[in-house]
Chains A and B, each alone.
Chain A
Amino acid sequence: MSAILLLTTLALVFGLALGYAAMRFRVEGDPVVDQVDALLPQTQCGQCNFVGCRPYAEAIVGGEADINQCPPGGEQTIRALADLLGRDPKPLNPENGEEKITTVAVIDEDTCIGCTLCIQACPVDAILGGPKQMHTVIASECTGCDLCLEPCPVDCITMVPQYGGLAAWSWPRPVAVDKRTVSET
């Protein structure tokens, strides 16, 4: 009898403790979505068919999207996502686009008519300007998403490769010359 009582009391105590802990330490949002979102390049380009990186992250976690739909992230991101989610890495889905070098938008200020359409299209507010005023791109904030190209009525925006100068230079991968393969071929 006492055993039954003891076990019931214990069950009650633990149940209450767990219930309290669940309320007290409730995690806001979905931590997995946050982790996935942190791995995405935040270009906000929509090439994955979702309206930004976070919605794509939600779709991945919800099983609505695959991990190989992010062209700006490329192979590196796919690899990181595969690691995080315990899936097998796979090549980038060509339907979403292909991996390109990082670019930055440049507005030809002589041609710009000041229509503000690109400003509305920019997902990260990297374009400055007002109605009938010249627009310009804040190069350091531009993610190179290409979204401003399409709405421009006078086609005055071009994407140019990002150039970081001396500071961005880094050592190339050493070319592996294996003596065995050299002598064999």
Chain B
Amino acid sequence: MRDPHQLKQFHGGLKLDGRKLESTSAMLGTLPLPRRLLLPLVQHSGRAAIPIVKAGDKVLGHQEIARPDGDRSCSLHAPTSATVIGIQCLPIPHPGGLTADCLVLEPDGREEFAHSLPTLDPASLDMATLVQRVRDAGIAGLGGAVFPTGLKLAGAASRESLTLVVNGAECEPYISCDDMLMREQAHEILLGTRILLNTLGATAAIVAIERDKRQALGCMQAAIERLGDERIRLQQIFTIYPAGGERQLVQVLSGKEVPADGLPIDIGYLCQNVATLLAIYHAVTEGTPLVSRITTVTGSGIAKPGNFLALLGTPLSVLIEAAGGYTDQASRLIMGGPMMGIALTSDEVPVVRATNCVLVMAADEVRTSGEQMPCIRCGECEQACPAQLQPQELYWRIQGNNLAGADELGLGACIECGCCDLVCPSHIPLVQHYRYAKGKVRTAKTQREQSDVARQRFETRKERLENEAARRKQRLEEKRKTRAPGEQAPKAIKGEIDAILARTQSKHRDPTQGDGTS
């Protein structure tokens, strides 16, 4: 193992108080079977899954209940045997407090499981089969971004000299679910790592864990020695937030910077979170889909903090109850950590793939917008930014509605880690401004794309109408031409027309003259 002092550090970042001891002192807890499971159709980054069951259906555990809509989507499986209540529009863990379509299941308590996916032999696994299996098992990155893993692996296929990074760096304070997982299932994580190493043909795997996770380090070290695969090695890293971010971690391990408009895979690194690797292991060797995850329940608003193995769809209230309920101090409910988490208004929202932590904070730990002061251009934020941006300049441009200008300064490279927020002596909610601006820039881009389509449709239509008019004119012309040689006919016709005209005119002048029927 290399000394972490020899590693290159990324720019900025912060040393934060970990606050992880509270939730890691107890063993991994289990939960009672909830009365209802609420499974949002979107709990990954991408398109909503398409439900394939209807109200009243009896489903077995691990049975697929929604299939993916395209590559950038994820299937959904019943966490346990249950009756389908229906599809309801319910609140989901979302920063805007939105509701979305959820499959509602009522567990029957029998815990019968389907075996729809056959087990695969890890030794003779090819890339296409692995990607298909990962898709079938509904696996998305469990580190927080919930990007469909199948798509990420497919992007890494046929790359030479690939290094796999096993991301055990859980840098955000309070969260300890990956720490717990590494203590409990180190061997299985490594078996999952080996599956990827073999199938991707990667040269090495680096298990990256922060120095202060003593127990996890010990467990992983022991498991690596037990497995005896010399391609896998452990690497201690410094505990600096956000070292667990994909780009930052790769920079620490390789000394190379991931391009702002690229991905770690572009410089030959593939990051996988430890929980994702475990899910891949189970999907391949047992054929079990992703239906549960470990969630940390912690904060000064929780009586007995701990980690729990929760079925996806379990309401957060069940988790909080299992952790001893709220304390008197409880004030703010957050999904995720204190830096990047989202505030929730209700604990009736379900655990989704991204729910790594349920944090309940006291009122005096939360900063309110009332404390904001004007920017004094001190530059502290620039010192802290791990993406090497100029947060204050971005802020000024966004304030001035110059969103295009902010985009030019690399707004898109912001990882929304919240370091600038925390160090700002004026307490400006900088990340909120960046999130707002990013949304606006994205909307403007889609609008531009749509207007391009509309322009093309308008022009095609104009062209079509012009063509039609030209054709009609041409037909008329041709008719005239074909008539031209027989000069007689038109004359005769002309005479007839004149006669008819004369008749009608005389009729108009004297209505009594005629056939008498009018």
Contacts and interface: CB of A to CB of B under 8 A. Distances in A.
B1 interface: no
Contacts of B460: 125
Given A125-B457, A170-B442, A42 B373 contact: no
Contacts of B453: 141
Interface in A2-61: 37, 40-44, 52-54
B98 A166 contact: yes
- Binding site secondary structure of chain A: loop
Interface stretch (B143-151, B272-280, B427-435, B493-501): B427-435
Interface stretch (B166-174, B299-307, B321-329, B364-372): B364-372
Contact of A141 (B371, B433, B444, B454): B454
A53 B452 CA distance: 12
B374 A174 contact: no
B473 interface: no
B369 A124 contact: no
A170 B42 contact: no
B454 A174 contact: no
Contact of B436 (A170, A180, A182): A170
Given A170-B439, A172-B436, A177-B372, A43 B454 contact: yes
Interface in B366-385: 369-374
Interface in A135-164: 141, 143
A1 interface: no
Given A169-B96, A171-B95, A171-B436, A182 B370 contact: yes
B458 A174 contact: no
B231 interface: no
A33 B96 CA distance: 40
Contacts of B432: 171, 174
A100 interface: no
A115 interface: no
A179 B370 CA distance: 7
A171 B42 CA distance: 18
Interface string B42-59: 100001100000000000
B455 A37 contact: yes
Contacts, number: 84
A110 interface: no
Nearest to B464: A125
Given A40-B451, A170-B442, A53 B371 contact: no
B100 interface: yes
Contact of A52 (B42, B98, B436, B458): B458
B447 A41 contact: yes
Contacts of B454: 42-44, 124, 141, 143
B159 interface: no
B440 interface: yes
A40 B374 CA distance: 36
Interface in B4-44: 42
Nearest to B455: A42
B443 interface: yes
Contacts of A166: 42, 48, 94, 98, 100
Contact of A175 (B95, B369, B458): B369
Interface in B188-226: none
- Binding site secondary structure of chain B: helix
A98 to B, nearest CB: 19
A121 to B, nearest CB: 11
B436 A173 contact: yes
A176 interface: yes
Contacts of B256: none
Contacts of A182: 370
Contacts of A64: none
Nearest to B461: A125
Nearest to A76: B444
Contact of A170 (B48, B443, B455): B443
Nearest to B373: A179
B457 A174 contact: no
Contacts of A44: 454, 458
A53 B455 contact: yes
Contacts of B94: 166, 169
Given A177-B372, A178-B372, A123 B451 contact: no
Nearest to A175: B369
Contacts of A123: 458, 461
B52 to A, nearest CB: 20
A124 B460 CA distance: 8
A53 B374 CA distance: 42
Contact of A124 (B95, B370, B429, B458): B458
Q: Which of B374, B444, B461 has the most CB of A within 10 A?
A: B461
Given A125-B461, A166-B94, A174 B369 contact: yes
A56 to B, nearest CB: 12
6 tightest A-B CB contacts, nearest first? A170-B439, A42-B451, A171-B435, A42-B454, A174-B432, A124-B457
27 contacts: A42-B452, A44-B458, A52-B458, A54-B455, A54-B458, A123-B458, A124-B461, A125-B461, A141-B453, A141-B457, A165-B100, A166-B42, A166-B98, A168-B443, A169-B94, A170-B435, A170-B439, A171-B95, A171-B435, A171-B436, A173-B436, A175-B369, A177-B370, A178-B372, A179-B372, A179-B373, A180-B374
Interface of A: 37, 40-44, 52-54, 76, 123-126, 141, 143, 165-180, 182
Given A43-B454, A169-B98, 19 more contacts: A41-B447, A42-B450, A42-B451, A42-B455, A54-B455, A125-B461, A126-B457, A141-B454, A166-B42, A170-B435, A170-B443, A171-B432, A171-B436, A174-B369, A177-B370, A178-B372, A178-B373, A179-B370, A180-B374
